[in-house]
Structure 1
Amino acid sequence: MLRKQATNQPAMQQKTRRRGPHFETVSNEEDKRERGGGLGPLASSFLGVVLTLSAIAVGLSVLRYRRNNRDTLDDVGRRSWNTCQSQLCLAHFRRLRDSLNRSTSPCDDFYRFACGAWQPRVSAAQTALRDLLDVAQLDFIRYLETPATSAMTSYDQEGMAAILPNGRATALPNGHPGHQRNRAERAYHFCLQRGGDVAADVVMLREFLANRSLSWPDRATSAPTAHEPLDVLLDLELNWNLGLWFTVRISPPLAQATPRSKVARRLLRISRGIVSSGWKKALDATVSRREYKARVRRFYDALRTNNFVAISDKDVEDLRRDESAIANALSDSANGGQIEMAFPLKQIQKLATPHLTTAQWLTLLNWHLRKHSGIRLTDADSVLATNVRLLQAVDNLLGFFSADTLLYQFAWCLVQLLGWMVDPALPGRPVAKTQSPAENRRADCFWAAQRAFGLAILSGYVLVNYPASVHSAVDNILMTVTQTAIDLFVKSPWIDRESRAAAVDKLRRVNITLWPPDAYLNESVVDGVLKQFPEPGGAGVTMLRYWLDVLKVRRSLIGMKSRQRGTEEDAFLFYSEDTQSQQQALFRYHYFPNMLAVSLHGLRSPLFVEGGGRAVNMGALGAQYAAALSRAFDPRGVLVDGRGSTSALWWGKASYQEYERRAVCHAAGADRVDSFFEGLAAVEIAYAAFNATRSISEGNIRRGLLKRRPQTFLGLSEDQAFFVSFCQASCAREPTDRQRMSCTLPLKNFPVFAAAFTCPVASAMNPSKRCRFFEGTRPEHVAVTAASLRPLVPTTRHK
């Protein structure tokens, strides 16, 4: 009966009916509780209201969290001054957000505020720039290993990266269509194959060493025909692109022949080689003698001959001692401060290598260059030593060690560089980080392919990752910074007219090298060049044999003249950067040719992100570029004019005393940094350029062309984001004093920083006395004015 009546009950009674056969029992129990002092109707209603309000509060909290999270990252285009929408851009801001230590006051320790929680994307990286280079290499390797019919994955490109809760990167497909691998890319995959005739490659490696009077582990017997150490170093660099101690790059003729000279002059640029800071760090990582001995014995067992003599512990210790001494000397020369010098080759003994005569250099250079399409040097050609201390270190080492010791060390270096090609079971090249065997193999094959093919193997990657939109954005930043520096010279009241004119002329003449010529990124042009190289994977061809054959072809093509232009531009096709260099200079100004080289690797997070906004890109990329540009007028730059002449100081006498005072200003801790000048000038120039672009936007807002956006993003104003981005390049796990000060010293001397973070007077980041270069007449608190932005003139690109 109950069930039949329940069918016709209203909704509330139907709900009560759901209690089932215990209906009456439950009602009786409720009555008993009410009579016994239970909750009662009023209390029940109150409890329901409380629960409802709690549910609403929880819901509002969830909505607020989701909204705040969206404001922080996912909806930046409508809700902040930031306009980025791509996955690459969002990933950059996640990393920037996660690097901040908000428990620290920016006015007390800005480095800790900006970098206190920084973590690398690649676990082995210790600094932000090392992390950038490692990500660049991983990104390129992923590009190479993407199947021709599959989408590419990457650490650091649009639509390809996601940041996990732990801050590490994971790859996501970006939908990029597959590409047809060229011959250079196929060579990389051939390298990954671990098979081959180990015995045949061991014989080939021994022959390669013997042809240069080298031998390892056996010591070569001295003979009258043995090669000189300098001869071996030049042969390895010029013919095999294995510059152990230094690299040599020979430019096309710089100008047409003059009436006094029948030959147009060339420029020899000498830079650090493979055995430098990175090699030293890898050697230092082998902390114990036992570990070093185990490494030596692995190579010894693989390469020894049948008539071997057992290697003793003393032999191993001597090998380690000599290798450490050489690596330390070459590393110290690179880290002791850059002293760039340019001089005629006939003065090399006087200025750089007292133990090596000009005749020795010239004879050996021309002997090896005879295979390079007829290139021949004279003592009137110029040498550009990017660091003359390197040449001095080379000269000292060649004079200190015996020829036999040096040749044995050369052989040991080559065995470590090439042994993995001979036998996959051998350790890879010395690198200062720990990787799995598979990762080591990928890195080694990437190194080998890049050494052999240069830009030819990078061309497809460059086209995909640096489209026209990136070209335009980067060019706009660089040109704006250059023009702003010119404007600051024009406006600075303390600079006299003569100095102003000379500085403006020099800045306008700066030759920026960045983008490869379009012809070298043309698929048909690259394929045409690669046809001259052997196809990888031929029957019976081992990895070492193939690589040496490729380097022979490379050597024959360097110096080759372009039929269309009659120049040697094709040589650039084989000159590429080594991302494993531990001291990679992403922005390098060369004083004498007035050239500023910008690395493509610098065009990625944390220095540049497409769509990241003017504050981020100008504070990072713009400031890094401005620092390099400022060397054009630093205390060494004023000795070389825009045409490379060193005949006289180009800064005028009328304001030179004031220039000296500003250039060596020691306010606010500047005396603790050797190269403080460039950081001080960089923040002034970059902020003025940022302010100029902001002035344009403000004008468009007033005219109704743009909508005004909220003032903060990630809790930072645009000015604050600029200064945080300024320091991102200096972030490190265990920062040195120099890394800390490269961030804090320029900013504490820049009053706009203190205003941006409302720092109290006399706080650590708001000192009472400051150094300035462009603004004001004294080193004191001076407000920054917005620089005018003239029509941008395209900068010169290299040929």
Structure 2
Amino acid sequence: MSRKAPLKLRPILKNRSGNASVQQDVPSTSAGTGTSCSAFAQVPPRTTAIPGSSALADADNDAFLGAELPTLQTPLDSAISSKSRSTQQRPHSHVILAFAAVLCSFSIVLATLVLIIVYIAATQPKVRATCDTSDCENHVSALGLSRVHAEDPCEDFGRFVCSGWTLKYKGATGTVLQEVLVDWFHRVADLALSNTTGGAISNEAHKMMVACVTRPEDYTASLKGLKSFMAARGLAWPENDLHVGPEDYAKLLRLLIDLDVNWALPFWFHIERQHSGSEKGRAFVLRPSSMVSFLWHFNRKLQNHRGAYDWYVELFELFVFRDDISVPSAFHSFLKNSAGVQMNISEALGSVDKSGVYRPQLIRLGSKPTTATKLTPVMWMDALREVYGNELPVTVSDVLLATKERLIAVIENLFVTFSAETLWFHTTWWFLQDVGTFSSSVLPAIIATINFGKLGRALNDVYCVVQAELTYSALLAAITMSQFTKDEVREIPGYFGRIKTTAIEKMASSERMNDSMKVKLLNVLRETAIALWPEGDLLSQGSFDELYGAADNVSSDFFSLWHHARLALQKSRGSSLYEEATKTCRVNKNRLFLYKIIPNIFSASVASLRPPLYYASGTSAMTYGGIAFFFARELVDALSFMILRPRRNESTWGTNTPRQVWHEVSCPAPEDRALVFPTLPALDIAYSAYKRYRNPTKDLPLRGLDSYTPEQIFFLTFCHATCRIEEPTGVQFSPDCTMAVRNFEPFAKAFSCKPGTRILSALALTKAPPNHSVPHHSGLRYSAADPQVTGSNAGCDGCISEGDGNFR
């Protein structure tokens, strides 16, 4: 047998010391440890093989280790090689080397996978955390940004936001605030009827709500009490022997004050006695009535349908005047022709509170009018004396403070336009529509006849809760309070306190306000209190039964309960419980907060604690853009009122009301100045408080609106809360929102408004620097790059600028 080629030599390798060495093609007998992966790759192949199966097995092992194929050798050589391996190679060396190779390969693969994962994570867009609570989901639905939008947000932000608003009670409401109130009415009615208020509601109030909502079949007792009450108060029908002359306006004024003060029926206005801190005089604060707007809205709906008003009158003739021969035929004719006069009166009185801005007027009861008038200060003094009687002496040193100067003017104008007799008859008719509706089956007949759908139950609940709220405002506040946790009860007023702190700091840092005015306003503002929940004696057990009187022996019909509650309130007037109860805020469709100048208290309506203004599990942007903004607006509006507050031991106020308090510290565009107060300064305060006090761990984008930043959610929430219906077109818009943001630079930056839009035109901003502009997109989706917008209003050195929103 011929021999094969001579034994091959491995290539020259570098040893660890760096010297060249020749490694023969034989297995290593070294017992060294810590062998590297390269050393495993350099294991030399064996050059011999045993014929047969053993040779095949060794060949398989060598192939596994990456060795060369063996050359055929003689038996002697094979024997020598076998002996050499048996004496030099360690047992199981193949297994150890194989395991090390697998481990090394696995390490390489693992490292590669880690690098791939890191690369993918670095190149993929980051997923931001979002708020996905049920409250956040509800707010996304309320904003409705997925629906069609009518305007570019940088052109008309109000129309952009409000176009996504869906009315829940279309036809009965016209603003977001009214929707909030109706929701609250529903909630209170459900709580009262289910009696799940944890003992917060008295038995009497519960009975009254049940009597109003459930409607008993027999109204005989209720109608009998109603008619007796009307006769005792002189609320009579047009008759020849009625002792009300055409010029008897003094008697009419006494009737209107009596119905409000003693019977909680503010048909024309609401008047409240408040101590001024002076021993020499008191103040009677006169406010527009929220009840007027309900009457106006209901009557307008009736008159929009031909024949509806006549049918409405026939319902009263059928269910109230049935078999009542004491009502003369002249009154029936009067009712048929009363629609126009009723609308004129309610529209005139309702227009006073539409602006929502305080314009106070002061009248000293002992003064003489400078011009001829049908409504003199002496008439007010005499009427107040008769209503309050010996309980409260009314003197010439007392004052009448109207929160709106137009209210006095409107009352005077109505006295001039209509005779006292006509106004008296209409007051009788208003009383009958209000109390008589719930003391008879008139309202159920209306709801049964007209297919209101979901609105039918809403009307019933709304009117019942309005009636209950006029009497039990403090009690309903306690019912609402019982639905919040202790932490929430403590936390909610904190938002109002932060708004107040921010307003004080802004005013104190202003360099444009007159120093004396600044000091006066700051002193008053620092002393203001905020009343939301019932406090003091009202929290004690049985306090409401004491305030409203026990009703154990009172008939369960609606009028008997209504009459008893008001008599109990008259008896408790002047007590500590009564004074605490007056701090609570009555429902007003135009206001959620009420500033009471004499005690220097901001009363907050618990009805405001409803979506979309407040969410227990919402973000900071939702809260400060909602309920906190509305408190800021009331605070700004009240500053004009604060100027009139008397000094200690004095009983007079200044006669000049500063209408432009915030124009001293802000500078809106000239054409917008009459339109931005108080919304613009309130927006600035709420925005600054949001930026300072927001909770960064919870102030997240909203799930479903992920591309909108929390700051954008703040502006969207604020604007949505001011939405209303334009009449008669039905367009949904918010001029207050649009005018405010076009004068507010932080908004322009938050929404990346480009040059040429109305927002930047109003701000008179300069062109953005090169390479910093951000492409504008009508959907206003969030862009990671922020535009660098700068500038100021033309001719003004004190505008609201970007940053913290401080006045400069």
Structure 1-normalised TM-score?
0.70
State which of 195, 202, 217 in structure 1 corresponds to 2:216: 195
* Residues 214 and 220, structure 1, Cα contact 8 Å, conserved in 2: no
Q: Is 1:727 matched with 2:730?
A: no
CA offset at residue 719 of structure 1?
A: 1.4
Aligned twin of 2:494: 476
- The structural deviation recorded for 1:741 is 2.2
**Aligned-pair RMSD on alpha carbons?**
4.3
Distance of aligned partners of 1:766 and 1:593 in 2 relative to their CA distance in 1, 3 Å threshold: farther
Gaps of 5+ in 1: 1-67, 72-77, 153-176, 563-568, 699-705, 789-799
Provide the rounded CA distance (Å) in 1 between the counterparts of 2:309 and 2:731: 31
Choose the corresponding residue for 1:623, options 629, 635, 650.
629
* Kept after mapping to 2: 8 A contact 1:760/1:766: yes
Residue from 134, 138, 142 that aligns with 1:95? 142
Q: Distance in 2 between matches of 1:355 and 1:608?
A: 46
Aligned mates of 1:318, 1:733 — CA distance in 2: 30
**1:742 corresponds to which residue?**
736
- TM-score, normalised with respect to structure 2: 0.69
Indicate the residue corresponding to 2:254 in structure 1. 231
2:538 matches 1:552 = no
Q: Report the counterpart of residue 578 of structure 2 in structure 1.
A: 570
Indicate the residue corresponding to 1:141 in structure 2: 189
Which deviations, in whole Å up to 9, do the C-alpha atoms of 1:616-641 show, x marking residues without a partner?
2112222222222223556x766768
Instruction: Flag the 1:649–1:361 CA change in 2: closer, same or farther, 3 A.
Output: closer
The 8 Å contact of residues 503 and 685 in structure 2, kept in 1 or not, is answered as yes
Q: 1:517 to 1:605 in 2, by over 3 A?
A: same
Cα drift, residue 724 of structure 1? 0.7
Q: Name the residue aligned to 1:293.
A: 310
Equivalence for 1:341? 360
Letter in 1 for 2:526: R
Q: CA deviation at 1:144?
A: 0.9
Query: CA contact under 8 A between 1:286 and 1:292: conserved in structure 2?
Result: yes
Letter in 2 for 1:609: Y
Residue 602 of structure 1 pairs with residue 618 of structure 2? no
* C-alpha displacement of 1:505: 3.0
Alpha-carbon shift at residue 273 of structure 1 (Å)? 3.0
Equivalent residue, structure 2, for 1:535? 552
Instruction: Quote how far apart the aligned CAs of 1:133 are.
Output: 0.6
Q: How far, CA to CA, are the matches of 2:218 and 2:620 in structure 1?
A: 56
Look up the match of 1:759. 753
Report SS of the residue matched to 2:734.
helix
Q: Give the CA deviation at 1:492.
A: 4.2
Corresponding residue of 1:676: 676
The yes-or-no answer on 1:584 pairing with 2:584 is no
Q: Deviations over 1:115-160 (max 9, x none)?
A: 2211133343332111001001111111112255xxx8xxxxxxxx
- Return the index of the structure with the highest Cα Rg: 2
Match of 2:689, SS state, is helix
| SS of match in other structure, 1:138 | helix
Q: 1:272 Cα deviation (Å)?
A: 2.2
Question: Which residue number corresponds to residue 289 of structure 2?
Answer: 273
Distance in 1 (alpha carbons) for counterparts of 2:433 and 2:656? 48
Deviation at 1:338? Answer: 4.6
What residue identity is the alignment partner of 1:255? G
1:248 to 271, 291, 311: 271
Paired residues, number = 643
CA deviations on 1:714-758 (whole Å, 9 max, x unpaired) are: 321121111111202122354889952211222122222122121
Q: Quickly say closer, same or farther: Cα 1:289–1:312, change in 2 above 3 A.
A: farther
1:666 to 665, 669, 675: 669
Q: Deviations for 1:265-313, whole angstroms, at most 9, x for unmatched residues? A: 3321212236623322221111245211111122123316336654699
Which amino acid letter does the alignment assign opposite residue 183 of structure 2?
V
- Distance in 1 (CA, whole Å) between partners of 2:330 and 2:408 is 33
Distance 1:777 1:377, change over 3 A: same
User: CA distance change for structure 1 residues 346 and 715 in 2, over 3 Å: closer, same or farther?
Assistant: same
Q: Deviations over 1:376-407 (max 9, x none)?
A: 22222232212232222223323432232222
Q: Could you tell me whether the CA contact under 8 Å between 2:201 and 2:479 is conserved in 1?
A: no
Structure 2 CA distance for partners of 1:666 and 1:105, relative to 1, 3 Å: closer
Distance 1:451 1:381 in 2: 27
Instruction: Please give the alpha-carbon distance, in whole angstroms, between the structure 2 residues aligned to 1:480 and 1:355.
Output: 47
Aligned partner of residue 337 in structure 2, secondary structure: helix
Counting only pairs closer than 5 Å after superposition, residues 40-79 of structure 1 correspond to structure 2 as none
Where does the alignment leave 5 or more consecutive residues of structure 2 unmatched?
1-124, 766-790
Deviation of 1:609 (Å):
1.6
Q: Are residues 601 and 103 of structure 1, via their aligned partners in 2, closer, same or farther at CA, if it must alter by over 3 Å?
A: same
For 1:406, the equivalent position in structure 2 comes to 423
CA distance in structure 2 between the partners assigned to 1:677 and 1:126 by the alignment: 21
Shift of 1:515: 2.9
Assess if the C-alpha contact under 8 Å between 1:353 and 1:392 holds in 2.
no
Q: Percent identity?
A: 21
Per the alignment, in what secondary structure is the counterpart of residue 393 of structure 2? coil
Q: Who is 1:322 aligned against?
A: 341
Are the equivalent residues in 2 in contact too, given 1:213–1:220 (CA < 8 A)? no
Give the conservation status (yes or no) of the 8 Å contact 2:699–2:710.
Answer: no
Aligned with 1:247: secondary structure? Answer: strand
Shift of 1:533: 3.0
Separation in 2, partners of 1:520, 1:454: 12
Deviation at 1:463, TM superposition (A): 2.2
CA deviations 1:66-114 (Å, max 9, x no partner) are: xx9xx9xxxxxx95364x74x4454233323557656854323322332
* Structure 2 counterpart of 1:140, one-letter code: V
In structure 2, C-alpha distance between the alignment counterparts of 1:586 and 1:191, rounded to whole Å: 25
Structure 2 SS opposite 1:596: strand
* Distance in 2 separating the partners of 1:313 and 1:576: 40
CA contact (8 A) 1:190 1:536 kept: no
Q: Secondary structure at the match of 1:240?
A: coil
Contact 2:135–2:618 at 8 Å: present in 1 too?
no
Provide the C-alpha distance between the structure 1 equivalents of 2:592 and 2:803, rounded to a whole number of angstroms.
28
Task: Indicate the SS of the match to 2:206.
Answer: helix
Q: Distance in 2 between matches of 1:649 and 1:293?
A: 48
Match of 1:119 among 166, 173, 181: 166
Inter-partner Cα distance in structure 2 for 1:207 and 1:457: 29
